[in-house]
Amino acid sequence: MWLGRPPTKSSARCKAVTPDVWHASAWKRSAKSCTVEVRVEGSVQKVSEEESEKYFHSRPRGSQLGAIVSKQSTVISGREVLQQAYKELEQKYSDGSFIPKPDYWGGYRLTPNLFEFWQGQQSRLHDRLQYSQRELGGSTEWHIQRLSP
């Protein structure tokens, strides 16, 4: 399962992830009347070069060029640096030729075993639902619990 965009291998996120570690991610969405958060936990494994290659080339050409131009999380002097590099690559590959996946580009797969959905309430009596995987009689099932805020 790909969650979010795959990081480059040199990003801080990838440097912190090693095979079989546990990972927790949270997404937050706020509106005037409600705040929602989702937390996901599970094991993380690096995907193969072949799978990274296949996924890279399934993306639109513009996204492929953007992935080459962006050295994720490195400091740049301004947006124009990215735009100029992108423009140069656009010209280089304007004939529709094959765009090679950069060596530093790859991905990780999160296999979730826990989801928590949190919905904020003005009263602070927030709604929290947790879905966790359980082994029962040789099969895996999702168990749902309501948690106190």
Same domain (yes/no): 34, 74: no
Same-domain check for residues 4 and 23:
yes
Does one domain contain both 124 and 100? no
- Which residues, at least 6 apart from 9, have a Cβ–Cβ distance to it below 8 Å? 103, 104, 105, 106
**Same domain, residue pair 101 and 111:** no
Q: Which two tokens stand for residue 122?
A: 């003005």
CB 99 within 8 A of CB 93: yes
pLDDT at 26: 60
Angle at alpha carbon of residue 74, lines to 27 and 45, rounded to 5°: 50
- Does residue 38 share a domain with residue 77? no
pLDDT band at 121 (very low <50, low <70, confident <90, very high): confident
Asked whether residue 44 carries a pLDDT value surpassing 60, the answer given is: yes
Catalytic one of 109, 124, 134, 146: 124
What's the domain count of the chain? 2
One domain, residues 95 and 119: no
Q: Are residues 81 and 113 in the same domain?
A: no
Is the four-CA dihedral 129, 134, 136, 142 of positive or negative sign? Answer: positive
pLDDT score of 16: 55
Has residue 15 got a pLDDT over 60?
Answer: no
**61 in catalytic set:** no
53 occurs within a structural domain? no
Q: Are 23 and 44 in contact (CB under 8 A)?
A: yes
Assess whether 112 and 98 both reside in one domain. no
* 3 state SS of 56: helix
Find the domain containing 28 and state its range.
Answer: 1-47+107-148
